[in-house]
Chain A
Amino acid sequence: MWIPQILDKTSSYDDLVTGKIPALIIPGVLSKIDCTSTCSKILNISKINRTSIKFGTSLSSHIYEKSKYFSNAQKSNKILKNLFLNNFSPLTLMRQKISKLSEKKIYTATENDRFYSDAVIRIHGNDNSVHLHRDNSNFEMCDYNVSQIKNQLSAILYLQSPVKGGELTIFHKMWNKKDEMMRDPEFGYSADLIKGVYRTKIAPIAGNMVILNPKFYHQIESILGLKSRITLSFFFGESSNDCLYSWT
Chain B
Amino acid sequence: MTDIIWGTVTKIISINSFEMNVSHQKDTNNDSYQDVEKIHFTEIDIPSIPEDEQSRNISQIEQSLNDKFVKCEISGRNSENKLVCLVSHSGAGGY
**Which residues of A pack against B, CB within 8 Å?**
58-60, 63-64, 66, 120, 133-136, 139-140, 142-143, 175, 177, 180-189, 214, 235, 248
Contact = CB atoms under 8 A, between A and B. Distances in A.
Contacts of B45: 64
Given A63-B89, A142-B63, A143-B48, A183 B95 contact: no
Contact of A133 (B24, B89, B94): B94
Contact of B93 (A64, A136, A143): A136
17 contacts: A60-B94, A64-B47, A133-B93, A135-B94, A139-B67, A180-B8, A180-B93, A181-B23, A183-B6, A183-B8, A183-B23, A183-B90, A183-B91, A183-B93, A185-B71, A185-B91, A187-B91
Given A63-B92, A180-B93, A185-B6, 15 more contacts: A64-B45, A64-B46, A64-B47, A134-B94, A142-B48, A143-B47, A175-B93, A180-B8, A180-B68, A181-B7, A181-B8, A183-B23, A186-B91, A187-B93, A189-B93
Contacts of A182: 23
A114 B67 CA distance: 30
B69 interface: yes
Contacts of B71: 185
A189 B95 CA distance: 12
Given A64-B89, A143-B47, A135 B95 contact: yes
A180 to B, nearest CB: 4
A183 B95 CA distance: 14
Interface of B: 6-8, 21, 23-24, 45-48, 63-64, 67-69, 71, 89-95
Contacts of B23: 181-183
A140 B94 contact: yes
A63 B94 CA distance: 11
Contact of A134 (B6, B48, B93): B93
Given A177-B67, A180-B68, A60 B92 contact: yes
Contacts of B95: 58-60, 120, 133, 135, 235, 248
Nearest to B68: A180
B66 to A, nearest CB: 9
Nearest to B7: A181
Contacts of B67: 139, 177, 180
A55 B6 CA distance: 31
Contacts of A143: 47-48
Contacts of B89: 63-64
B64 to A, nearest CB: 7
A184 B68 contact: no
Nearest to B64: A142
B69 to A, nearest CB: 5
Contacts of A177: 67
A186 B71 CA distance: 11
Residue from the set B23, B47, B94 with the largest chain A CB neighbour count within 10 Å = B94
Contacts of B21: 181
B35 to A, nearest CB: 10
Nearest to B45: A64
Contact of B94 (A120, A136, A186): A136
